[in-house]
Chains A and B, each alone.
Chain A
Amino acid sequence: VASHDQQTPTDSVAEASDIRARLVHQETVRLIQLGILAVAAFFVTRALAVTDREMTRQSGIEWYDRGTRLLTAGDAKGAADAFRRAVVTNRRDPRYALALADALVRQHELEPARAALLALRRTMPEHPEINLQLARLAAARDNVGEAISYYHNALYAPWRPGDESRRRQIRLELIDFLLDQHQANAAISELVALGADAPDDPRVHIELARRFARAGDNRSALAWFQRALRRTPQDTATLMAAGEAAFALGDYRLAHQYFRGMPKEGVGTATGRVVDLIITNDPLAVRLGASERRRRLVADIAYAERRLDECRAPTAGSLDSAAEDLTRRAHLAEKQLQSRRSPDMDTIEAGVALMYDLLAAARRSCAETPHDRALILLAQHHGADKR
């Protein structure tokens, strides 16, 4: 106290200054210490975070493996749970979400499966497999528009070189989906696109041809079957399919050729028999002699008359006037044909038309036989139904 009392104002100012300097120094030192602590804490925390991230990544792999094992063992529920955990560890790995979606689909949990895929798609919108799975889910939910959209996303995704086969398979899947949805025109568009860069492989040609046939484009179907037959001319299934396509197109002669080309065990198919009957009973076939034309026509009309008579039998007693008229016309035609050795083409066409009318009348009461069908088809082929 004594010394304090003896202090001069100058000493007090100096002491205050000194205290202030010490405080400033202390604050500065502590701030620097805090800064050093913050930097050290940053590196320690970052190192621990990296370790944690690696552990998380590893646990993701383990969950994925576990899910795969469970899925193989048929435990879709357990697998889905494991894949869910894997997804959480790494949202950017498409394997996890795709596996989860697969497991959920197997449990018929379509909405959660879709959600899992959509979450993944947000980060990888052009991933073909994700879009494909979404398309399949949309197809399963009967959402045709969404399914087609996702199929297209999958198809036009950036594919790696060498994945053409996989891409073709997806387009075939889309085509099948479109055909199931009765969207034939859209399916044909896809088939044309698929055919444009199809490899020279008969199996691919047959796949294309079959789908063209399903879509109702028999001409394209026949063309692709013919391409396939150039490489495998003896292939029974292809021959038969080509015969069917030619038959659908009304080219019975060509169809007959394909069916004849089949081994014996394949000849007796329903269509083959019909084609055979058409070829052997057609009075308007080319390169026929006049007598053969007349014979065939007489036989056809007689068969048709007999069929009408058979079919009318169960309801005998109530003969309708149209059937009586047809029978009368048949008798008349048979008489005329027997009296003329070489009937002209107009007569033959008129006879074919009569045969068609007789069989059409018979068909109203009876089940159609292959012979009936053959004669009706050949009559239609020659425009008898439009006369």
Chain B
Amino acid sequence: MTLTLPRTQQLRLRENQLFLVLTILVGVLAGLAAVLFTVAIDQTGDRLFGLAPSQARLWLIPPAISIVTGVLLAKVFPEVRGSGVPQTKASYHLSKGQIPARVPLGKFITGILCIGSGHSMGREGPSVQIGAGLASVIGRWVGLPVARVRDLVPVGAAGALAAAFNTPVAAVLFALEEIIGDMNAALLGSTVVASVASVVVERSILGNEPLFHVPAYELVHPAELGAYAVLGVAGGLVSVAFCKGLLAGRALFRRLPASTTIWQPAIGGIVIGAIIARVPQVMGVGYQYIDQALNGGLLLQTMVVLCFVKLAATVVSYSSGNAGGIFAPSLYIGAMAGGAVGAIVHAVAPFPTANAGAYALVGMGALFAGIIRAPMTSVFMIFEITQDYQILVPLMVANMLSFTISRRLQAAPVYHALLHQDGVHLPAAPSPPTMRTAGEIMRSVPTFLHPDVSADTALQTLLAQNAPAALIGSDGRWLGTVDRDDLASRVAAGETAIPIGSLLDGEELVHVHPDHPLDVVIDRFPQTAGLLPVVSRADARRLVGVIALADILPRTGDTARRPSTETGQDPSRGGRFPI
């Protein structure tokens, strides 16, 4: 007897089989791409700087290469600046995993040039973007449904990261914790398969050498936990300094005129050239110095200097728009900060302590947890590096403290904050299912007033519509909101002809996203002039609706519960006031 499945089940089974095969192939190709990326960076660095680079080379190569990458990043591959992890997250959450083919290609080329030319950046973030990009391209090429293409993105990211760092478990956790943002994701199996396939390929090419050679450290004395707690606090503070420095530096470069975008990487290159001419240890990825710190091979003052110089160099390289990640720099800074704390503890503690290398190891994890905000990935990554769980308790103590301090002092995770600067707002945790969302209560967008419209004309328009505020914009993009009362006082003061665009103060615009629950709407509404804009997460300047007081009030009375018939936006409500 032959059992015949219904057609739809047959198709689903076939799609699952196809997805499994693709998962393996994506893992292999992402792993190969990561290995190739690593080798290419090494080769580029060797060829550009040679064995013992002269001062002239150290000064000139970073800006010279950055001029080339500046052109590429501005004109050919504008999506590949920076790490690649935020972009991958944005693609997964906001673009259904659609990553153009030029992204992995551009990241590969610009990443090699930027990191190989001495910029203080990591190769793991770019590897993640390359792996995710390859997965997306392959998924589309094979003809997978859109949802399945999206599912392939974290699979490719996990595969690439597993090969780049030789830590398959940490790569899986990173994909779940950081890219997908859900540790219970249904893609666990696929990411594991890709990660394993990738690591098998990577080890068959590069051998089974661990990235770092680390002694078997352990907790020497119970009182040492206190010292590791101090390291956790120090790690948290350094993490915050790094994140704030990175965001401030980036904001500084973003404030420069748009015409300078092409030259910004070169500006960073000039600064990096000056830094590496004095402290060449902070060039590129710098894993050899992490290795030395992990083995207790660096002096206290050396580690302190390298910690701060690396932090500054990474901020400059990243802020100026070069292509490279912050994954490796965070490990580097953590190893140096941890090693420095360890050396001090070793010298002054009244109880026996581990070597400074043990603290460097824990410091790496603490900084990773504080900066990347992926504490589980951090713990497993260190575990995979050391192959020893004796150090896990101190590691968890330090990680927890660093993570907590970082979260307290820097609300948004760094990848989210970086995307926020680009006007991309990733969704937070899913809202409670019973709460209505902003998208459901908003009304359609009223007509924008052009920034060149005079204050007098704008006031007349608002009065005619009985609108509390004017939405100002052009070319379909929202530029800001002006309060009607503010406008009236300007007109009364005789400033009738001034363009309303000049009244915008350039501050952060209060808004919500369509998936924000009603409590967020209620929380933010009082900060507005009576009109709360609802903007796209993919582009914070694209208005998808507005919320007026009348849209909220009827729903607060019935505890803001979702109506039994789910219709989303109320079609009866148009863009015209009165409110």
A contact set with B: CB distance below 8 Å: 23-24, 26-27, 30-31, 34-35, 37-38, 41-42, 44-46, 48-49, 52, 55-56, 59, 62-63, 66, 84-85, 88, 91, 109, 111-112, 114-116, 118-119, 122-123
Contacts and interface: CB of A to CB of B under 8 A. Distances in A.
Contact of B29 (A41, A44, A119): A41
Contacts of B215: 118-119, 122
B43 interface: yes
Given A49-B206, A112-B298, A91 B213 contact: yes
B288 A45 contact: no
A118 B292 CA distance: 11
7 contacts: A27-B18, A41-B29, A42-B28, A59-B46, A63-B51, A111-B299, A122-B213
Nearest to A20: B11
B173 interface: no
B46 A55 contact: yes
A45 B205 contact: yes
Residue of A35, A59, A112 with most chain B CB atoms under a 10 A cut-off: A112
A109 B357 CA distance: 16
A27 B14 CA distance: 11
B39 A48 contact: yes
A180 B17 CA distance: 75
A38 B28 contact: yes
A167 B52 CA distance: 38
Nearest to B296: A115
Contacts of A35: 25
Interface string B283-304: 0000010011001111100000
A37 to B, nearest CB: 7
Contacts of B138: 34
A45 B292 contact: no
For the residues of A in contact with B, the DSSP-based class is helix
Q: What is the interface residue range for chain B against chain A?
A: 35 or more
B288 A85 contact: yes
B299 A109 contact: yes
A123 B215 CA distance: 10
A44 B201 CA distance: 13
A34 B144 CA distance: 14
Interface string B124-137: 00000000000000
Contacts of A27: 18, 142-143
A116 B297 contact: yes
B201 A42 contact: yes
A273 B24 CA distance: 93
A45 B213 contact: no
10 A-B pairs closest in CB distance: A115-B296, A88-B288, A115-B297, A119-B295, A52-B39, A41-B32, A112-B297, A115-B295, A38-B28, A49-B205
Interface in B37-72: 39-40, 42-43, 46, 51-52
A49 B31 CA distance: 13
A30 B142 contact: yes
A26 B143 contact: yes
B357 A37 contact: no
Given A30-B141, A66-B51, 17 more contacts: A30-B143, A31-B142, A34-B25, A35-B25, A41-B32, A41-B36, A45-B35, A45-B36, A45-B205, A49-B205, A84-B297, A88-B291, A91-B213, A112-B298, A115-B297, A118-B215, A118-B295
Contact of A23 (B143, B295, B296): B143
Contacts of B204: 46
B430 to A, nearest CB: 34
B29 A38 contact: yes
B295 A31 contact: no
B138 to A, nearest CB: 7
Contacts of B298: 112
Contacts of B40: 48
B21 interface: yes
Contact of A56 (B29, B42, B201, B357): B42
Given A34-B25, A59-B46, A66-B52, A119 B297 contact: yes
Residue of B39, B206, B288, B298 with most chain A CB atoms under a 10 A cut-off: B39
